[in-house]
Amino acid sequence: MRSSKTALAGAALAGLALTTAAPIAAAAPATTATAPAATVTAQGGGLTVDHTAVRPGEQLTIHLDHGPEALSWISSGSFVRDSEHPMGADEGVAHVVRDSGGSADAVATIGDVPPGQYVVHARVGGGSVPGVTITVR
């Protein structure tokens, strides 16, 4: 009898944990520097971009250290949508130009999007990589 009460209590707590919203990690604020060689690394590592402030039509170079896990995609709502997103998201996908030895390089063209902040993020293995915020002017 005691084990079924324990199991019910555990199930109730698990259900409560699933319904509680997890806090969203705040992205590092984008820098306002106009230097073209600025590199920003997401907290926790892995994803870097060569510019934090871009304009529509400009190209963004992205580097990702993903270790032994397979890279699935790198995407952002700011990228040109010239191919279909693997998961159907309304985002553009970066074009991987090199992927070997646990790291990858990709390029993406900034689309004709409204000015604002956009997150560049990636999917590696079974999880997401922390994103980097860029500003489209």
CATH number belonging to the domain at 29-136, selected among 2.30.110.10, 3.30.565.10, 3.30.1360.70, 2.60.40.10: 2.60.40.10
- Express each pLDDT in 69-118 by its tens digit: 999 999 999 999 999 998 989 999 999 999 999 999 999 999 999 999 99
**pTM score:** 0.68
- Express each pLDDT in 41-51 by its tens digit: 433 349 999 99
Domain ranges (residues) in the chain: 29-136
Please, is 91 exposed, middle or buried when counting C-beta atoms within 10 Å of its C-beta (0-12, 13-18, 19+)?
Answer: buried
* DSSP E strand stretches across the chain: 40-41, 47-49, 53-54, 59-65, 71-76, 92-93, 95-100, 103-109, 116-124, 127-136
101: closest CA among 54, 63, 137?
63
Higher pLDDT, 9 or 55: 55
Residue found under tokens 């555990």: 10
* 30 vs 115: CA distance, rounded Å: 13
